[in-house]
């Protein structure tokens, strides 16, 4: 089987697709992973065939984070030509004509139309519930709460995500791919076509009103590579005392990283615990490093989180999954998108205190950390159940069935 995998976004959007590619390769297939060119070294390190996609839009997003609405609006005016270059790179893949099926991230925008051009099956690989409506819960990307009778209606917001780009995609589909017939938005194609829901049913089971083929199959977890060697300061810090609190907000960026770091440091001081702060993309910018605190840029979650007492993070599903597998309780300070949804879900399962929405104060964070420590047994119990899951293997079986149907 020659599958084409297409993904766009941050590392959290790319790494699960790389995990799937590794699984396909281990099963004897020949996947090609198309992803932003900035991830070439990550993908090459796993021996997976790679096709670079234009990543100017990501670079633009990096440059405007935390700079306010006016800067973001100005930058948005330059998105259209960047988007067209991203789509053209995907059209070049379609021109190769060698693939048996396509698995795509909706952020790619072009994935289902590449499959249409190739005349092969297309499946959306979704890392969160996004396109199949349900009455069981509202759309995870909804920015506010709604009464439960409006849960199903709230899913209409998902179809609006791509609306600003629809004209560009429609023109590209006609001009570059030469596809006739009416244009159908991605949301419609996913609801009518196949979907792979790549999260654990232990975290969020399928609601009763979803079809059987939409049941979540488990996280797409990258297999362990050669043992990661921590830098000496991190290794020494972990060996010198009790497991610390981990604090890291990944690719999320707030308006005042210095103030957020000061809040975190004061909360850690109030708990009397040690801590590892990961600055990530810049959400945390500590001005000092007090005793009992180590500041790093990043470290592999699958290596670090099993060595900490509590994980404080932004609620991205990749970090949620890593903390679940590590068996550590979590504290979530959501920033945007689906992060509040996962934070609420973790609290409902007893794995985290209530989400820290709104203004974060040291005493609130300190209390949440103390609360989370008591949830460690529940976190360890769920981690034991996750060991039996293999979302990548389940996805490979599904793709094999789809290709031979």
For residue 100, is pLDDT > 70? yes
Indicate whether 145 belongs to any domain: yes
**Are the C-beta atoms of residues 251 and 258 closer than 8 Å to each other?**
no
Q: Are residues 352 and 395 in the same domain?
A: no
Indicate whether 224 belongs to any domain: no
For residue 373, is pLDDT > 90? yes
Does 63 or 96 have the greater pLDDT score?
96
Tell me, what CATH number does 333's domain have?
Answer: 3.40.50.2000
Q: What is the mean pLDDT of the chain?
A: 90
Tokens of 133: 């409506």
pLDDT tens sequence across 227-278: 778 999 999 999 999 999 999 987 666 668 889 999 999 999 999 999 999 9
Q: Are residues 105 and 243 in the same domain?
A: no
**pLDDT level of residue 335 (50, 70, 90 thresholds):** confident
pLDDT attached to residue 256 = 80
277 - beta bridge partners? 247, 295
Q: Are residues 258 and 327 in the same domain?
A: yes
Give the mean model confidence (pLDDT) for residues 159-184.
Answer: 90
Indicate whether 160 belongs to any domain: yes
Structurally, the chain folds into a number of domains equal to: 2
Indicate whether 140 belongs to any domain: yes
Tokens of 338: 């689906």
Q: Are residues 261 and 199 in the same domain?
A: no
Q: Determine the Cα–Cα distance for residues 344 and 225; give it in Å rounded to an integer.
A: 32
Q: Are residues 115 and 258 in the same domain?
A: no
Q: Are residues 357 and 397 in the same domain?
A: no
pLDDT tens sequence across 16-49: 999 999 999 999 999 999 999 999 999 999 999 9
Q: Are residues 382 and 394 in the same domain?
A: no
Q: Are residues 162 and 295 in the same domain?
A: no
User: Inter-axis angle of helices 79-96 and 166-175, to 10 degrees?
Assistant: 40
pTM for this entry: 0.91
Percent share of the chain, pLDDT over 90: 70
Q: Are residues 247 and 140 in the same domain?
A: no
Indicate whether 130 belongs to any domain: yes
Indicate whether 251 belongs to any domain: yes
Where in the sequence is the domain holding 253, given as residue range(s)?
232-386
Q: Are residues 132 and 267 in the same domain?
A: no
Q: Are residues 309 and 377 in the same domain?
A: yes
Q: Determine the Cα–Cα distance for residues 164 and 150; give it in Å rounded to an integer.
A: 25
For residue 62, is pLDDT > 80? no
For residue 63, is pLDDT > 80? no
Q: Are residues 300 and 189 in the same domain?
A: no
């Amino acid at each position: 089987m020659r599958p084409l995998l297409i993904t766009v976004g941050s590392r959290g959007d790319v790494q699960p697709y790389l995990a799937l590619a590794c699984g396909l390769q281990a099963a004897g297939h020949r996947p090609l992973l198309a992803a932003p060119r900035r991830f070439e070294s990550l993908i090459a390190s796993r021996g997976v065939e790679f096709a670079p996609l234009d990543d100017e839009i990501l670079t633009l997003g990096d440059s405007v984070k935390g700079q306010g609405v006016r800067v973001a609006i100005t930058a948005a005016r330059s998105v259209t030509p960047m988007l067209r270059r991203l789509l053209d790179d995907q059209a070049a893949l379609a021109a190769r004509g060698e693939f048996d099926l396509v698995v795509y991230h909706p952020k790619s925008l072009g994935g289902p139309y590449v499959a249409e051009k190739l005349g092969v099956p297309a499946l959306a690989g979704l890392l969160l519930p996004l396109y199949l409506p349900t009455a069981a819960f509202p759309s995870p990307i909804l920015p506010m709460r709604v009464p439960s009778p409006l849960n199903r209606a709230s899913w209409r917001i998902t179809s609006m995500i791509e609306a600003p780009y629809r004209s560009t995609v429609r023109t590209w589909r006609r001009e570059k791919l030469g596809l006739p017939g009416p244009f159908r938005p991605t949301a419609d194609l996913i609801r009518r076509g196949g979907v792979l829901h790549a999260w654990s049913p232990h975290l969020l089971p399928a609601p009763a009103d979803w079809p059987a083929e939409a049941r979540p199959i488990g996280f797409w977890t990258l297999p362990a590579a050669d043992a990661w060697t921590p830098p000496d300061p991190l290794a020494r810090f972990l060996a010198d005392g009790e497991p610390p609190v981990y604090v890291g907000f990944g690719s999320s960026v707030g308006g005042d990283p210095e103030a957020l770091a000061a809040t975190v440091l004061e909360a850690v001081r109030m708990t009397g615990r040690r801590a590892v702060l990961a600055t990530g993309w810049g959400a945390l910018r500590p001005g000092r490093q007090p005793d009992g605190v180590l500041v790093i840029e990043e470290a592999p979650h699958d290596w670090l989180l099993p060595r900490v007492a509590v994980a404080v993070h932004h609620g991205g599903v990749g970090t949620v999954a890593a903390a679940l597998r590590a068996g550590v309780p979590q504290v979530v300070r959501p920033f945007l998108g689906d992060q509040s949804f996962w934070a609420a879900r973790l609290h409902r399962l007893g794995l985290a205190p209530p989400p820290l929405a709104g203004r974060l104060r040291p005493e609130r964070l300190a209390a949440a950390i103390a609360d989370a420590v008591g949830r460690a047994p529940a976190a360890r119990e769920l981690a034991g159940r996750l060991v039996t899951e293999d979302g990548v293997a389940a996805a490979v079986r599904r793709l094999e069935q789809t290709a031979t149907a």
